[in-house]
Structure 1
Amino acid sequence: MNTAQVDAYLRRLGAAHPAWPTVEVLRELHLRHLRAVPFENLSIHLGEEIVLEEKHLLDKVVGARRGGFCYELNGVFGMLLAALGFDVVLLAARVYGDEGRLGIPYDHLALRVGTVDGGMWLADVGFGAHSHYPLAFEERGEQRDPGGVFRIVESGPDKAGVAGTDLDVLIDGKRQYRLETRPRVLGDFVAGAWWHSTSPVSHFARSTVCSRVTEDGGRTTLSGRTVTVTAPDGKREARELGSDEEVLTAYRERFGIALDHVPTVRGGTLKA
């Protein structure tokens, strides 16, 4: 990422160029990213290819002022952080389903980030409703955040009783995803992105979603034709949109995404 691209990315976030890659800078960029860049899967339903390459991600998130899902958002955010001098490692995770079952390998991408003033942090701007600030990677106690009470814990031994190095990330006592600690590269996640884009088993292929953190610490989400505004205290207000024009206006005014037509849910192409 060159200087002009870094500057353009920072303008997208409304952030000044930091002097040093400190934890306070990381916290600010993390929150600004959640507010400015929506978590969205619209490309899947607009017939757009998901390409996990630097130029394509910058063109989409910075140039076109779009969002993306985990591989795109954490992938490109990691590139920005590395360009600013942070020590960035890409990590793979498997997401827990409703019944406590783990998802596919490379189900999710998260970041381990080191800062110049010490400490390692779990940064994740691509999981939808998650922590507003990075989590202390080596802390095993409760970590309070506007998004909830988080914990990072050892996952425990496998079925054979062998201790592993995986970590479970919990919010309010519920397991969210199992994180591997082995470093990965962005290309490792191509198969996961393809699966989530095409499989009818994937919830990303079954519906549209666009969501971001609001300035007051709440959240605004447009799923299908339903707009849900969640207040910082957790209270929700949902409203159904009628016409296509209302939907397009919501994308534009609430998320800064200008579309010429409403995405059509494709439902995936693989056999379940």
Structure 2
Amino acid sequence: MLVRAMELGLYLQRMGYRGPLRPTLEALRRLHLQHLEALPFENLDVLGGRPMVLEEEALFDKLVRGGRGGLGFELNGLFAALLRTLGFQVTYLAARVSVAGEWPTAPGLDHLVLEVALEEKWLVDVGFGEAFDEPLPLVPGRWPTGGRMFLLEPRGEEWGLAREEPDGTCPWLYTFSREPRRWEDFVARGQDYPPPGSPLRRELLCTRKTPRGRVTLRGERLLLSEGGHRVERVLGAAEEREQLLLSHFGLPLGSLGSS
């Protein structure tokens, strides 16, 4: 999947990106960071009963022309197309999201992450919500980014990603396999994603990195974090959520739909 030349400028404009475009580590880092700040992780379509469509044109219409965000399959899928168009070598990897911070007991395919090959291999993910700000080297160890410390650890055929928390804990976020996957694998999985019982089906979640922190709308709560400080506000009517989706996430009025 590639972004057509005529659409490349629209995608970069959607991201507000004016940096280098050659397939270098500097460009990858800047594209990754800018994507996180411009396109939110959000589940509005899930709550509105609208199916996930992972065709290239549909993704571009939603995320770029439509000014929306999306889930991991959508965000990382379209970002992979952008990177490939720019000349990066990108591999799709299947991931399994952790439950309660534990290492998943079996491999799975409920998240998409990317492996980008430069002089070294890099883990790329712009579709997990509160994950890492910049690509992580695919090397075991602890890696700082965005004021947080992340841990990459291989166990057998799987790799795990964990994040150190202020209370000293280090819960696992997800595990992934280094075995290359096809885009068609995720298209097939997206037909019934997220599965019944998933938290993504129960309440609104919209989160976006900001230049100095993060803004998150979860259910009836707005959470703002900046410089280690966290402010939480309980919201009122649905109209207030609609306005916040516009002001904090740039989502068009009416995006909330029937959710």
TM-score (norm: length of structure 1): 0.87
Q: 1:187: which partner in 2?
A: 184
Q: What 5-or-longer segments of structure 2 have no aligned partner? A: 165-169
Aligned: 1:109 with 2:105: no
For residues 77-88 of structure 1, the aligned pairs below 5 Å read 77-88=79-90
Q: 2:218: which partner in 1?
A: 223
Structure 1 residues 177 and 197 mapped into 2: Cα distance closer, same or farther (>3 Å)? closer
Shift of 1:174: 2.2
TM-score (norm: length of structure 2): 0.91
> Among the aligned pairs, what percent are the same residue?
37
1: distance between equivalents of 2:19 and 2:102? Answer: 42
Structure 1 residues 261 and 142 mapped into 2: Cα distance closer, same or farther (>3 Å)? closer
Q: Matched residue of 2:200: which SS?
A: helix
Aligned: 1:28 with 2:23: no
Q: 2:132: which partner in 1?
A: 131
Question: Residues 171-218 of structure 1: CA distance to partner in whole angstroms, max 9, x if unpaired?
Answer: 11322111101111222123543443351x2111111101000111x1
Q: 2:162: which partner in 1?
A: 170
Runs of 4+ that moved beyond 6 A = none
Q: 53-62 or 171-180: which moved more?
A: 171-180
For residues 201-240 of structure 1, the aligned pairs below 5 Å read 201-216=197-212, 218-233=213-228, 235-240=229-234
Shift of 1:110: 0.3
Aligned: 1:257 with 2:259: no
Q: Matched residue of 1:50: which SS?
A: coil
| 2:215 alignment partner AA | T
2: distance between equivalents of 1:248 and 1:104? Answer: 37
For residues 241-256 of structure 1, the aligned pairs below 5 Å read 241-256=235-250
Question: Residues 129-150 of structure 1: CA distance to partner in whole angstroms, max 9, x if unpaired?
Answer: 010000001x212111115211
| Higher strand fraction (1 or 2) | 2
Q: What 5-or-longer segments of structure 1 have no aligned partner? A: 156-163, 266-272
Higher RCO (CA-CA < 8 Å; seq separation 6+): 2
2: distance between equivalents of 1:60 and 1:135? Answer: 28
Question: Residues 226-256 of structure 1: CA distance to partner in whole angstroms, max 9, x if unpaired?
Answer: 11112231x3211122122211110011101
RMSD: 1.8
Q: How many residues align?
A: 251
Question: Residues 74-127 of structure 1: CA distance to partner in whole angstroms, max 9, x if unpaired?
Answer: 010000000000000010011110162627721110000123xx1111000111
